[in-house]
């Protein structure tokens, strides 16, 4: 016994003395510059000290978390070079589409450099021109697998006329443009806006928030106040704010809209004139609320497969209907709680949502779980036949969120709600176990709150495509559903079941609806219609 104790004490002492050496034995530093932004090229370097290996593999991700599609970011890398303290020109070779093997010959300090062409306007791609730079880190910075969890520094050298840098990364103390990178996952999750953006600031519960607007637009401080209300309402659902600082990067464009969630930031693209009058802000509010709720659901409350990520391939989960669909359900609830929409409007929104689900053909052919799993090859790679076979796990998940909330409230005698389940997932899995959950664990948490078995629900509505028994669930809230007969053909007028495009007076079929007359009688895509048809609507004719 004594001997063992002595051994342990010795081991502890060895650890104590070795730890500081070990902790600082390797250092990683990145630099980013953009001397000629009009060429759309970022210049990147990465230096690793202390590895002393024969070779090091530098890898660029093939996808960005939150957008489930392999995007092959490495295609934009050019002029890759490597050097060390021993050699100005280290030998290297590509070993696959996104990995560079550098023969470092046990050098202590190895630096790679390359340029990245960045000219895609999107929340998930980097962009650079003479008006601003947006850095989406997975398509700019590489990593070394074994060193992914190590801290690093990032020094940004902005173009002379770019005066402001906005990012969720913390600044290194005492330096102007140097940032602390706790690990590669956090770097990937910290987009950077560089330019002359307009920055607003506000606090929620003493936590600072910034909104950085790039581009012209008719926003003002009242639009910022609305964001503050959304953050406050979301935080109330969980009882705490899980970050020290939060950043909204907003790209104002002609008409586009979309967003991407990150750990302590979000990136939004929004129509520049959609802020005035305030009644036009519906899309803005719901986009902000969706991405703010994501900072809990998916960034912290998450399916087991969604972190730590494998950046080199697809990461499959059957739970995107929870990650995305529940986020859509809650964004509506947050806007309701914040007073942006009335209870009556909320009810009518949900009614049209149910109508949409029932009338979407894909819901009869693809389940929520299957759509989640296959999103890499289906939802994110749609074609002309997608509406006939694919569903949206955003839409179905939003509906399932409402049904589960109603069921939990009813079965627990209004003692529990879906909010309790989300809070429990947050405290039990994110905070305590510090990991994601499996589908079985998620189902167990629902059952724990409701006190009933959800196996049948999962078979019918999560893994199955059965039409939802709306009447049953709505009755829990004292609501009824009125089902209307679809108009008959004679009431509807002529119906072919095709979408068409018109060019030089000719009509070309661009889509054929499943089970429609066109489908049943063999009209195909790209067929030119040789009949003269007067089009009353751009939808199906
Ligand atoms: Zn989302």
Reported as a single tens digit per residue, the pLDDT across 13-29 is: 433 344 443 455 779 99
Q: Which pLDDT belongs to residue 501?
A: 83
Same domain, 232 and 282: yes
**Per the domain annotation, does 132 fall within a domain?**
yes
Q: What is the pLDDT of residues 120-150, one digit of tens each?
A: 999 999 999 999 999 999 999 999 999 999 9
Same domain, 173 and 51: yes
Q: Which of 1-15, 208-222, 503-517 has the lowest mean pLDDT?
A: 1-15
**Per the domain annotation, does 385 fall within a domain?**
yes
**Rounded distance from Cα 279 to ligand 1 centre (Å):** 23
**Rounded distance from Cα 443 to ligand 1 centre (Å):** 21
Please give the helix or strand (H or E) that residue 42 lies within, else none.
strand 41-49
253 touches 270 (CB < 8 A):
yes
**Rounded distance from Cα 327 to ligand 1 centre (Å):** 7
For residues 11 and 350, give the distance between their C-alpha atoms in angstroms, rounded to a whole number: 62
**Rounded distance from Cα 124 to ligand 1 centre (Å):** 13
Give the mean model confidence (pLDDT) for residues 458-466: 98
Q: How many domains does the chain have?
A: 4
**Rounded distance from Cα 294 to ligand 1 centre (Å):** 7
Same domain, 217 and 285: yes
**Rounded distance from Cα 52 to ligand 1 centre (Å):** 42
**Rounded distance from Cα 395 to ligand 1 centre (Å):** 11
Give the mean model confidence (pLDDT) for residues 501-512: 80
> What is the residue range of 508's domain?
489-529
For residues 191 and 244, give the distance between their C-alpha atoms in angstroms, rounded to a whole number: 16
Same domain, 209 and 141: no
Residue scoring higher pLDDT (113 or 175) = 113
**Rounded distance from Cα 104 to ligand 1 centre (Å):** 42
**Rounded distance from Cα 290 to ligand 1 centre (Å):** 6
Percent residues over pLDDT 90 in the chain: 82
**Rounded distance from Cα 361 to ligand 1 centre (Å):** 23
**Rounded distance from Cα 232 to ligand 1 centre (Å):** 19
DSSP state of 50: S
Same domain, 180 and 210: no
ipTM: 0.99
Q: Which pLDDT belongs to residue 17?
A: 40
Bond preceding residue 277 cis, omega within 30 of 0: yes
**Rounded distance from Cα 15 to ligand 1 centre (Å):** 44
Same domain, 116 and 167: yes
Bond preceding residue 60 cis, omega within 30 of 0: no
**Rounded distance from Cα 475 to ligand 1 centre (Å):** 29
**Rounded distance from Cα 66 to ligand 1 centre (Å):** 7
Same domain, 439 and 324: yes
**Rounded distance from Cα 324 to ligand 1 centre (Å):** 5
**Rounded distance from Cα 458 to ligand 1 centre (Å):** 22
Same domain, 497 and 433: no
Q: Which pLDDT belongs to residue 530?
A: 60
**Rounded distance from Cα 174 to ligand 1 centre (Å):** 36
Same domain, 204 and 352: no
SS3 (DSSP) at 134? strand
pLDDT band at 506; cut points 50, 70, 90? confident
Same domain, 359 and 469: yes
pLDDT band at 5; cut points 50, 70, 90? very low
**Per the domain annotation, does 386 fall within a domain?**
yes
Structure tokens at 205: 């519960």
Q: How many other CB atoms are there within 10 angstroms of residue 299's CB atom?
A: 24
For residues 306 and 289, give the distance between their C-alpha atoms in angstroms, rounded to a whole number: 21
Give the mean model confidence (pLDDT) for residues 35-59: 97
| Boundary-marking domain end, from 259, 294, 329 | 294
Q: Which pLDDT belongs to residue 489?
A: 59
**Rounded distance from Cα 169 to ligand 1 centre (Å):** 22
Q: Beta strand pairing status for 133-135 and 192-195?
A: antiparallel
426 touches 301 (CB < 8 A):
yes
Residue scoring higher pLDDT (337 or 511) = 337
* Core vs surface per residue 325-358: b (16+ CB within 10 A) or e: bbbbbbbbbbbbbbebbeeeebeeebeebbeebe
User: Would the pLDDT of 370 be above 60?
Assistant: yes
């Amino acid at each position: 016994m004594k001997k063992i104790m002595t051994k342990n004490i010795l081991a502890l002492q060895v650890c104590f003395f070795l730890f500081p050496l070990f902790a600082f034995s390797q250092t990683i530093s990145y630099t980013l510059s953009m001397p000629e932004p009009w060429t759309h090229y970022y210049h990147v370097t990465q230096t690793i000290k202390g590895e002393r290996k024969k070779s090091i593999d530098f890898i660029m991700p093939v996808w960005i978390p939150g957008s489930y599609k392999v995007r092959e970011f490495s295609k934009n890398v050019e002029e890759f070079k490597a050097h060390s303290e021993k050699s100005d020109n280290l030998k290297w070779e590509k070993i696959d589409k996104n990995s560079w093997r550098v023969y470092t010959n046990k050098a202590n300090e190895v630096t790679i450099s390359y340029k990245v062409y960045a000219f895609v306007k999107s929340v998930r791609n980097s962009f650079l021109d003479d008006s601003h730079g947006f850095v989406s880190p997975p398509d700019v910075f590489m990593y070394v697998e074994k060193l992914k969890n190590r801290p690093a520094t990032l020094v940004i050298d902005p173009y002379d006329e770019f005066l402001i840098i906005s990012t969720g990364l913390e600044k290194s103390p005492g330096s102007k443009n140097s940032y602390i990178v706790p690990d590669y996952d956090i770097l990937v999750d910290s987009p950077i806006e560089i330019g002359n953006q307009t920055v607003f600031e506000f606090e929620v519960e003493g936590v600072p928030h910034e909104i950085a607007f790039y581009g012209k637009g008719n926003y003002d401080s009242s639009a910022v106040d609305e964001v503050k209300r959304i953050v406050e309402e979301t935080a109330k659902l969980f009882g705490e704010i899980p970050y020290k600082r939060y950043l909204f990067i907003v790209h104002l464009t002609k008409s586009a809209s979309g967003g991407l969630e990150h750990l302590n930031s979000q990136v939004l693209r929004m129509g520049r004139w959609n802020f005035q009058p305030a009644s036009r802000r519906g899309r803005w509010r719901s986009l902000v609320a969706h991405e703010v709720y994501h900072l809990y659901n998916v960034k912290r409350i998450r399916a087991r497969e969604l972190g730590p990520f494998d950046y080199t391939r697809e990461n499959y989960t059957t739970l995107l209907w929870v990650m995305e669909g529940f986020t859509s359900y809650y964004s509506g609830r947050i806007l309701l709680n914040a007073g942006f929409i009335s209870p009556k409007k909320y009810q009518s929104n949900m009614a049209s949502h149910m109508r949409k689900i029932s009338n979407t053909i894909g819901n009869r052919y693809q389940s929520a779980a299957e759509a989640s799993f296959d999103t890499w090859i289906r939802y994110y790679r749609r074609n002309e036949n997608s509406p006939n076979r694919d569903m949206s796990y955003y839409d179905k998940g939003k509906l399932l969120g409402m049904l589960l909330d109603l069921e939990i409230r009813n079965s627990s005698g209004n003692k529990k709600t879906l909010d309790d389940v989300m809070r429990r997932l947050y405290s039990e899995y994110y905070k305590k176990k510090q990991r994601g959950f499996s589908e079985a664990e998620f189902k167990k948490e629902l059952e724990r709150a409701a006190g009933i078995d959800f196996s049948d629900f999962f078979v019918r509505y999560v893994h199955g495509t059965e039409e939802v028994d709306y009447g049953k669930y709505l009755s829990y809230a004292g609501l009824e559903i009125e089902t209307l007969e679809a108009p008959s053909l004679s009431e509807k007028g002529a119906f072919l079941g095709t979408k068409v495009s018109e060019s030089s007076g000719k009509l070309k079929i661009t889509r054929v609806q499943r089970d429609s007359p066109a489908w049943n009688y063999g009209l195909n895509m790209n067929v030119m219609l040789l009949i003269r048809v007067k089009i009353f609507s751009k939808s199906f004719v």
